[in-house]
Structure 1
Amino acid sequence: MNTTTMVPFVKWAGGKRQMLEQLYIRMPDTYNAYYEPFVGGGALVLSLAPEGAHINDINQELVHTYTEIRDHLDAILEKLMELDKVTCTREFYYDMRSSYNEKRLSHSYDTEMAALFIYLNKHCFNGLYRVNTKGEFNVPWNQKQSVRSMDMENIKAISAYLKSVTITCQDFEQALTEAKAGDFVYFDSPYAPLNPTSFDSYTKEGFTEEEHRRLAALFRRLTEKGVSCMLTNHNTELIQELYEGFLIEEIDVRRAINSDPKKRRGKEVIIRNYGEAIKPKRRTRKK
């Protein structure tokens, strides 16, 4: 394992930094290969830094940025330092967003695109990643003129670690075709909507109810193969139904990305096919 504690280089919807302690205490005692098919910001894998990890995401721009950090870090750092020297005015932000969209739409997946991906994440509203029907990144500016785009020590540690990691961009089932008995899979799965009628408007790479059912079926197949699996999601009737029979534990969470402060607290579940329920610590009264 890497001795440097790493944190995500981007803010990502559904990121698990606040849940890490809850996840740590529920990890299997031992496992062989580590798989994370919905890596997103990678809070868990980066904090654990397991050897021989396999990370995957369907978001091509995110995966491209991971591979560029691994393969061309110096060029990314040079570009980010150049961008950070400029005061991020409204005009500059939207110019950089236009430059990024030109690259995205022309499939110019180069080092500059990866640097712009990181820069926009740090300077857009709430670190969201969203594209419109034309495929253009359209998140507005966060109105902060001076934000550091990177932590130099952290991103260097990530680059070094990723050199031993298998990185893929494919469907979650394809990403797990090699998973075997004794391996561990963490599913930071796209959230099921809290309102069961809102699937049509729910868009994290178009993850539908059918996709959630396909994921649950995969979870059961992996269980039969002897693969240790842990999954996090909203605590909804659908999720409870799909993972009936597995160990389901409810925890309180904060949802920092929600624009409505009243909706920033909620319930999520951690689902496992191994282990026992974690007993809550008793509070002792001071005498």
Structure 2
Amino acid sequence: MAGEKIITPPIKCQGIKTKLVPFIIENVQRDENGLWIEPFVGTGAVAFNIAPARALLCDKNRHIISFYQGIQNGIINSSTVRDFLEYHGSILEQRGGEYYLEMRSAFNQNYDPLYFLFLNRSDFNGMIRFNQKGEFNVPFCQKPHRFSKSYITKICNQVSRVSAAMSGRDWEFICCPWQNAFAGAAANDYIYLDPPYIGRDTSYVGEWSEEDAASLAGYAHQTPANVCLSMWKENQFRKNGHLFEYWSDFTWYEHSHYYHFGAKESNRHPMTEVLAIKR
């Protein structure tokens, strides 16, 4: 990985691990012949940069899985993305928020992965959120000129790099409950966990409760595979009690970084992240 540029996924979401990739790669020691497993693949930032030969990449969000399946089978590529974003981006520039809402309404009927990409890159703060009916409901970012030529090229390059990362590798993208990802895991496999924040319902896939988190810890301890949990440890306001209660017997590697909440510099706070590794 040294000297290589980190792959940034074309899909954005809050909590993306792109900036932590070097820290993760530095501490993950796995059997190259084993299966890399992610029950919460999200944007795919870790898998794309680890680049294992074999991987099982799961998520409960079917739209993310559908998008990456599209790249994998070649239906979605830099050319189709450019054509789509140039066409719809030019209309967005003319009609603004009205057209964004039309595209959002269309996506909630057709579930087209390119519509999903368009919304994800033109909505408020790159959020992924759905209402109780399963409809995407993030508002417009209020930037009608969002899809400039340079911005589209940036997204196309991200799609191309993700496609190259998948090429020649045995990867399977599956939409399923996280529990399914543990089934059949062997001793030489490696399970990377990046679960949702406990008790925070972002409507990405629904609320992640304390009971869910405790159940995940149980699965992680029982599986014969090695396990690496990525989770926040503490900030200046509070500590993560769940981490201390359920994962204290794993080996912890810590990394401090900053996160932003809002636009003001005063909202820039230090955060300690932990990789809790089974063995």
TM-score (norm 2): 0.82
Quick one: distance in 1 between partners of 2:165 and 2:272? 33
Q: Is the 8 A contact 2:200 2:208 kept in 1?
A: no
**Residue 200 of structure 1, CA deviation:** 7.1
1:160-179 matches, cutoff 5 A? 160-162=164-166, 164=169, 165-179=171-185
* Match status 1:91 vs 2:98: yes
Quick one: distance in 2 between partners of 1:122 and 1:10? 8
Q: Is the 8 A contact 1:190 1:233 kept in 2?
A: no
Q: Tell me, which stretches of 5 or more residues in structure 1 are unaligned?
A: 104-108, 193-198, 275-287
Q: Is the 8 A contact 2:81 2:156 kept in 1?
A: no
Counterpart in the other structure of 2:257: 253
Computed over aligned residues only, the root mean square deviation of the Cα atoms, in angstroms, reads 2.4
Where has structure 1 moved over 4 Å in runs of 4 or more? 74-77, 200-204
Counterpart in the other structure of 1:102: 109
Over 3 Å counting, the alpha-carbon distance change for 1:123 and 1:265 in structure 2 is farther
The one-letter code of the counterpart of 1:91 is: E
Counterpart in the other structure of 1:284: none
Query: Between Structure 1 and Structure 2, how many residues are aligned?
Result: 255
Post-superposition CA distance 1:208-232 (Å, at most 9, x none) = 111101100011012xx2x221111
1:39 to 35, 38, 41: 41
Quick one: distance in 2 between partners of 1:95 and 1:265? 39
* Match status 1:243 vs 2:236: no
**Residue 37 of structure 1, CA deviation:** 1.2
2:229 to 212, 231, 241: 231
**Residue 77 of structure 1, CA deviation:** 4.7
1:146-165 matches, cutoff 5 A? 146-147=146-147, 148-149=151-152, 151-162=155-166, 164=169, 165=171
1:107-126 matches, cutoff 5 A? 109=111, 113-126=112-125
Counterpart in the other structure of 1:182: 188
SS at match of 2:213: helix
Over 3 Å counting, the alpha-carbon distance change for 1:200 and 1:23 in structure 2 is closer
**Residue 79 of structure 1, CA deviation:** 2.4
TM-score (norm 1): 0.80
Post-superposition CA distance 1:205-257 (Å, at most 9, x none) = 221111101100011012xx2x221111122011210112111233223334x
SS at match of 1:123: coil
Counterpart in the other structure of 1:142: 141
Q: Is the 8 A contact 1:69 1:76 kept in 2?
A: no
**Residue 5 of structure 1, CA deviation:** 5.5
Q: Tell me, which stretches of 5 or more residues in structure 2 are unaligned?
A: 234-239
Quick one: distance in 2 between partners of 1:42 and 1:271? 20
Instruction: Judging by fraction of residues, say which structure has more strand.
Output: 2
Quick one: distance in 1 between partners of 2:35 and 2:177? 19
Q: Is the 8 A contact 2:130 2:203 kept in 1?
A: no
Counterpart in the other structure of 1:7: 8
Post-superposition CA distance 1:7-60 (Å, at most 9, x none) = 211111211011111111101053321111101111111112211111110001
**Residue 160 of structure 1, CA deviation:** 4.7
The one-letter code of the counterpart of 2:186 is: K
Over 3 Å counting, the alpha-carbon distance change for 1:264 and 1:62 in structure 2 is farther
The one-letter code of the counterpart of 2:271 is: G
SS at match of 1:151: helix
Larger mean CA deviation between 162-171 and 231-240 belongs to 162-171
Quick one: distance in 1 between partners of 2:106 and 2:215? 37
**Residue 70 of structure 1, CA deviation:** 1.9
Q: Is the 8 A contact 1:232 1:269 kept in 2?
A: yes
Quick one: distance in 1 between partners of 2:194 and 2:263? 23
Q: Is the 8 A contact 1:76 1:114 kept in 2?
A: no
